[in-house]
Amino acid sequence: MLTAKPTMAAEDFAFYQQRVPGLFFFVGVRPPNVPAEEAIPNHSPKFYADEAALENAVRAMASLAADYAGGS
């Protein structure tokens, strides 16, 4: 199991949650050959996302949506 360090990032998502149920989670898209301490932050113009990670992210989100909708 991977555990991330707490972050003090600001997000307005909680305001949406007051009206509709939802879930917020981070998707790790750092290339496997880049150590975490050398990764470029996502708001940098030099940010690079390893698109191979997006397949797992889409599967996770689709599974959560299906579970919520009562599907399998």
pLDDT digits (tens, 9 = 90+) for 10-69: 778 888 889 988 777 788 899 999 998 899 988 899 999 999 989 999 999 999 889 988
pLDDT confidence of residue 46 = 94
| The model's pTM | 0.60
Q: Where are the domains of the chain?
A: 28-69
pLDDT confidence of residue 10 = 72
Count the helix, strand and coil residues of the chain and give each as a percent rounded to the nearest 5: 35, 0, 65
Q: For the chain, how far is it from start to end, CA to CA, in angstroms?
A: 24
